[in-house]
A and B are shown apart, each in its own frame.
Chain A
């Protein structure tokens, strides 16, 4: 399968805690993106990190990228109940097609 791995598959935390999700991919990439999906709806783009960047921030989101390990992580700080969703990493394979990981289902309890 071209899909990468994301872990954990599911994560349950309390409001105010931090949530960390990890993604591993299989090919060389120019950039990697993270998307969020609320309960069977469309995906919403969160953040893009380029292959020459190691870390990027956007509000409460922090993304890291380690191209030597072909891995990325998404950290959500001070989580809120509204952060409850599935989170997917994605990248373009060598054929230019956008590939998605299998996702992490995050549940933030009030």
Chain B
């Protein structure tokens, strides 16, 4: 167990809808990163949050947005869902500038 929890575990949405995924960090970790993992691929970096501010972003459009709260938990929001957004979404927490990340079990999103 990494101490990182994600909810929900599975989610089904239709194209055009909006979704919010949640992540609770490991105790004491102040940095949260979000990844998208398509089937058979490695995780792709979406963005990172540190002290409630976005601190780096991958090649994802603005309809992917996030929040980090004072207790370091985090949300990933995706607007105007597309079929290609179907994937496993992983959250990882760490101490800032530390290399090792601790991953949650992920949220499997299916967009129909």
- Interface residues of chain A, those whose CB is within 8 Å of chain B, are 3, 31, 33, 35, 40-45, 48, 88, 90, 92, 95-103
Contacts and interface: CB of A to CB of B under 8 A. Distances in A.
Interface in B18-63: 33, 35, 40-45, 48, 56, 58
Interface residues of B, number: 25
B108 A40 contact: yes
Given A97-B45, A97-B56, A100-B43, A41 B100 contact: no
A30 to B, nearest CB: 8
A48 B41 contact: no
Given A3-B41, A48-B99, A98-B101, 9 more contacts: A40-B88, A42-B104, A44-B103, A45-B102, A95-B56, A97-B58, A99-B45, A100-B35, A103-B42
Contacts, number: 56
Contact of B106 (A35, A41, A48, A99): A41
A98 B100 contact: no
Given A42-B90, A42-B106, A3 B100 contact: no
A41 B104 CA distance: 8
A42 B105 contact: yes
Contacts of A40: 88, 106, 108
- Main SS class of interface, A: strand
A43 B103 contact: yes
Given A42-B90, A43-B90, A98 B45 contact: yes
A42 B33 CA distance: 13
